[in-house]
Structure 1
Amino acid sequence: MNLARHSISATSPVQILDARFDADCNIFTATTPAGFAVYKTFPMQLIRKRELSGGTLSAAVPLHCSNIIFLLGGGRSPLYPPNKVIVWNDTLGKEAAELEFRERVRGLVCRRGWLAVSLRRRVVVFQISDGGLSWHGAWDTCDNPRGLVAMASAPYATLLAIAGHQIGHVQLIHLPPCPPPTPRGPPPSSLPRKPPPQPSKHPVSIIAAHTSALATLSIPISGRLLATTSVRGTLVRVWDSSTGKLVREFRRGTDKAEIYGVAFRPDEQELCVWSDKGTVHVFTLVISAATNRQSTFSPLTPFLPLPKYFESEWSYAQYRIPVQSAHISLSSTSRTSGVDLPDEERCVVGWIQGPAEDALQASPMPNYQLIALTFTGGWYRLALPKLAGVSPNTASSNLKRTSLSGGGSPKSALSALPGSPPKPYVPQSPRSVSGSSVVSRMDKGKEKERDKEKKESRSCTLQEYRRYGRWDGWG
């Protein structure tokens, strides 16, 4: 079924202070004023919960599916000082260690063997071992109040992405390779994965991604790509992390928005973007059954000096998060008790491998789906739209992906990950159509494009809806 912007009612709002997936989207943590809980992402199931008294948390960051969770104090009555990172051993149900800094912790990210803590103007990296945490290094950044930091988590991955020294820039740092997970049970029949060969050229260390401040930094688990957005919230840029070249640029919208996050599909063929507009946008990175929407004027951009708007790539699929406030009754006591009301538009989105589309006919291609977690306690499992009778999860058998370091135009080559688009060609001879007539039709052209986008909008479908934080009696 398709859900428009209507309401899913609840008796009272669930206050989720923070929700986030682990690096592999196998589990997610939810933080509420009562403590924190760990859930299996799909099928959604409560794994364990911890009720903490004496204060509240701002985040609980899981280290994959291990028993280690990093806690940050926050809220109106922080359980821990805001300048500390608490290492929580959930097997023992108590604190195992703590890291103290001279200022407030803005963000953190972890992977097997490594932890990166982002401060206002610095990122500190620690190595995690059986003996505890040891300091590895620190890097200065520009003013980074959002605490942006991203880390590749696949076996033998090395990339750490942090804010650069200048506004809108990104620093790329290569740490020692991420160790593979420890196998459990009997040894696997297949040979263990070998480390990738060392790059022949020294990888780039700085990317001038935007002219305005960064809003998000995202990388897939392999670390081959980097997605950046700025505080303007209109464009998503995808970069080759080895060469620093721009490989794709997508348009979320034309009006300003606060982008909350970007997530790559595990096979790096698609990515999704979500913002305070309450909409999840899905873009494709390769040639497949799904194609990103473009303006009907885009073929003219090499020949006419049209605004960049007309060469933009728009999402091929969207989903609108339903609101709940229309049927939420709030008592006067809840309004005056000092409890922060949840932000209905706030959410976090991750990719999962969903169930097979046809149980009787197993498909060799995985069926990727989206899981959206709202800060009002909603768990949405979304399926990508089927286009022309073909699932966007399945690419053609003869799909050829262009090397990330290769050039080419998105319009001419239509390659999987093309290079930067060429500069528009401006004819020197007089045109048969006057420039003034082209300019005079720009506003009408934009209006037609917006109307067409509404008609051609292809929505993700809601496959399953659950509640977390309260449905299990906790929250």
Structure 2
Amino acid sequence: MNLARHSITPTEPVHIFNAQFDADCQIFTASTPAGFAVYQAWPLTLLRKRGTFLDIGDLFTGGTLAAVVPSHTSSLLFLLGGGPSPLYPPNKVILWDDATRVEVAELEFRERVRGLACRRGWLAVALRRRVVIFEVRDTVVRRAEYDTCDNPRGILALATAAYATLLAIPGRQMGHVQLLHLPPCVPPNPLGPPPSVPPSKPPPPPLKHPVSMIAAHESALTTLSLPPSGRFLATTSSRGTLVRIWDTTSGKLLREFRRGADTAEIYGVAFRPDEKEIGVWSDKGTVHLFSLVSSGASNRQSSLSPLTPFLPLPKYFDSEWSYAQYRIPTQAAHISLSSTSSVRSSHIDLAADEKCVVGWITVPSELAGVAPDFQLVVLTYSGGWYRLALPPKVSQSSPSATGSPPKSPSSFRQRTSSVSSVTSLPDKGKGREREKDKKGSRELVLQEYRKYGRWDGWG
């Protein structure tokens, strides 16, 4: 499970400062030295671009952006200056209407903006030691301000489903999380003919007052994640070994997952839309999948885990490990998706500073009457777009009998003719371990690989 750091930098790097999914993972934005673009998440389609190579009237010529945050699938974008030649000062947030190419509003602060989160009608801005809340309607009104502990990453999370209220921000003490409640999120305006299914109704109020503080970790927080409903909260810390899932009403710790045994930087946690699984990604170049329900795939555990109630074993042996994962390969390892042959690449080391972002999409099933499939889309900051399917449903054998959780496989299985086949070089002396790994773990299946981020037709 201790995966070496490796590089996913292509031979001709594509510099992407930031990539952001909208709340529903239907679109995403990418900011580069040339400007920014808005893409449809799947099928990958370039919707529009704003940058140096556009007409003279483009307002973005001559400046770079650190982040472009989409507000659902509307034309409203939140822009944050940054990069080698910032278009705006880093202490400003610009509300941009991309349909009319007009700056709607400008929010200025006395210090650098660290992070943004938005939902319909609301914007939360994270500064170094506070979070400021704005209501965004016909006008932008400052509604509240909350103190936090030192928050250089600008982490915060908003529940975005209809009638959701939760905002999660760091607490005043390191490792703590404040749970705040804003006015309910308004449902989206329906488009086209009236739907056959009646619109959802506001949920009943909780039977007891929800908690306002969770002591999540002893070390500094690195990520906060909420599903659209806001029922759960996922937290990670600077150690990067554990992912904890909390009930946001009671504050109870529901599950604790182990990403690995060594320190890593976890970039994010994404809840599946039906809240049955989570995807976790880090600077190790891997995407891990954990199950949140007992009826689905089983997370891996040590063969000694049943003995932990009776023996004073370290907590490590009682940990739940990901039931599936995907290691992002180098760009050189990819081949044409129409080819059926596999490719071996000697350039399998990936860089430690490569970043990525992961989102869930819903793909219609090819079979009539079958529910849509959930898949993952991975966006690397070197310009790679990966669509990953969940592993085939097969019975899992018992975990490894060595007393430690099974390690992840180091090679890729043979794919079908409709997807690319990627194979890594075998590790010396690891043949036996690799055979054991295949029995105890499964891989996400690469369905499609494309590039994004350049203005030369990649979209």
Secondary structure at the counterpart of residue 463 of structure 1: strand
Is 1:58 aligned with 2:42?
no
In structure 1, the residue matched to 2:111 is: 103
Structure 1 unpaired stretches of 5+ = 328-341, 391-443
1:321 touches 1:345 (CA, 8 Å); kept in 2? no
- Give the counterpart of 1:351 among 348, 360, 365: 360
How far the C-alpha of 1:389 sits from its partner, in A, is: 7.1
Deviations 1:320-363 (A, max 9, x none): 01124899xxxxxxxxxxxxxx976310000001241xx2x324
**Structure 1 residues 448 and 40: CA distance shift in structure 2, 3 A:** closer
Is the 8 Å Cα contact of residues 10 and 382 (structure 2) preserved in structure 1? no
Per-residue CA deviations over 1:144-202 (Å, capped at 9, x if unaligned) read 00101100000000000000010000000000000000112222233221111111211
Matched, 1:465 2:441: no
Corresponding residue for 1:278? 285
Name the SS for the 1:294 alignment partner. Answer: coil
CA contact (8 A) 2:356 2:378 kept: yes
CA RMSD of aligned residues (A): 2.4
Q: Tell me, in whole angstroms, the C-alpha distance in 2 between the residues paired with 1:96 and 1:343.
A: 39
Aligned to 2:209: 202
Which range moved further: 203-212 or 381-390?
A: 381-390
Q: Does the 8 Å CA contact 2:210/2:250 hold for their aligned counterparts?
A: yes
Q: Which residue of the partner structure matches residue 17 of structure 1? A: 17
The structure-2 alpha-carbon separation of the partners of 1:453 and 1:237, relative to structure 1 and needing over 3 Å to count, comes to: farther
Instruction: Return the TM-score normalized by structure 2.
Output: 0.83
SS in 1 for 2:84: coil
* CA-CA distance at 1:288 after TM superposition: 2.9
Across the two proteins, how many residue pairs are aligned to each other? 401
Question: The residue matched to 1:299 in structure 2 has which SS?
Answer: helix
| Counterparts of 2:248 and 2:151, CA distance in 1 | 21
CA distance in 2, matches of 1:282, 1:266: 14
- Displacement of 1:54 in angstroms is 2.1
Q: In the alignment, is residue 126 of structure 1 matched against residue 134 of structure 2?
A: yes
Return the match for 2:188 from 175, 181, 188. Answer: 181
Q: Which amino acid aligns with 1:216?
A: T
Give the match's secondary structure for 2:223: strand
Residues 354 and 343 (structure 1 numbering): CA distance in 2 closer, same or farther, change over 3 Å? farther
Rounded Cα–Cα distance in structure 1 between residues aligned with 2:173 and 2:321: 29
The 1-side partners of 2:220 and 2:374 are apart by 32
Given that 2:149 and 2:172 are in contact with CA atoms closer than 8 Å, whether structure 1 keeps it comes out as yes
Shift, 1:216, TM fit: 0.3
**Aligned 8 A contact 2:165 2:185 in 1:** yes
- Name 1:382's counterpart in structure 2: 388
Task: Provide Cα deviations, 1:436-473, integer angstroms capped at 9, x if missing partner.
Answer: xxxxxxxx744987855575231111000111113753
Using the size of structure 1 for normalisation, the TM-score is: 0.80
1:365-418 deviations in whole A, cap 9, x for unaligned? Answer: 22000000000100000011113279xxxxxxxxxxxxxxxxxxxxxxxxxxxx
Identity %: 68
* 1:343–1:375 Cα contact (<8 Å) kept: no
Which one of the candidate residues 155, 168, 190 is aligned to 2:162? 155
Matched-pair contact (CA < 8 Å) for 2:26–2:73: yes
- Provide the rounded CA distance (Å) in 1 between the counterparts of 2:332 and 2:247: 42
* Shift in alpha-carbon separation, 1:127–1:217, aligned structure 2, 3 A: same
Runs (4+) of structure 1 exceeding 6 A deviation are 5-9, 447-450
Amino acid at match of 2:98: D
Amino acid at match of 2:87: L
- For the residues of structure 1 that align with 2:6 and 2:181, how far apart are their CA atoms? 46
CA contact (8 A) 1:344 1:375 kept: no
Segment of structure 1 superposing worse, 69-78 or 151-160: 69-78
